[in-house]
Amino acid sequence: MQFQDKVVLVTGAAGGIGAGTAAAFAREGAKVMLADIDADQGGQRVAEVEAAGGQAAFRRCDVSKSEDMRALVEETIARFGRLDILHNNAGISGGTDFTADISEDDWDRVIAINLKGVWLGLKYAIPPMLEQGGGVIVNTASALALTVLPGSAHYNATKHAVAGLTKTAATEYARHSIRINAVCPGVIRTAMLQNAPNLAELEPRLLALHPAGRLGEVEEVVNAVLWLASDGASFMHGSLMTVDGGWTAA
């Protein structure tokens, strides 16, 4: 119960990595606020946490909207009294078009959710953490914060930017006992991946990216996020922790 009585906010918590971290924090004693655009799945995740004996709540949130993110942080604090940990996780993939073929609408949407959404999380979580004397933020970046994949220019751009944002904010607030790091997953077996219509064709190409010879599992990323949020990572500021089966090391 290493997070006993800590208050944790997880964005993108209706499924995948976010749902995994929310459940894991709750198992470790935290009070968890889940946020996502998908209210039906988000409510189901809360029910699962509560059925397992944890404490959780849900708020529908579009992370690209300032008013949504401000209200989310305010409700978290009003409900649970403080905010100790933010897993700034919400993001989308954006498709596979090459750079010149990406529509302006697709470009703007990916930038708004993957980059602006992370910045808004920092913007509204940091002030209450400053007031209470510290906190922890873990951003979800990607292996594509450290390398590139053709057909993902807008996604690549956002994840490189999240890496830079993580490092900048970490250096700005380290002296205030706020630790800010990022986890950089490779390709992870989420429900979204498993339901991809072209998975049989796509999977061999994805496997070839990972020297480990397999794709990652959600719990492997969850373990990294929880460790970055724990006291065991107390001297880590601005780190980009890869959980990518050796992809970016090759």
Catalytic residue set: 155
Interhelix angle 39-51/16-27, rounded to 10 degrees, is 30
Interhelix angle 16-27/218-229, rounded to 10 degrees, is 50
Is 20 within 8 Å of 219 (Cβ atoms)?
yes
Is 25 within 8 Å of 53 (Cβ atoms)?
no
Beta bridge pairs of residue 58: 34
Is 185 within 8 Å of 142 (Cβ atoms)?
yes
* Identity at 231, one-letter amino acid code: D
* Secondary structure class of 135 (helix, strand, coil): strand
Q: Which of 182, 209, 16 is nearest to 115 (CA)?
A: 182
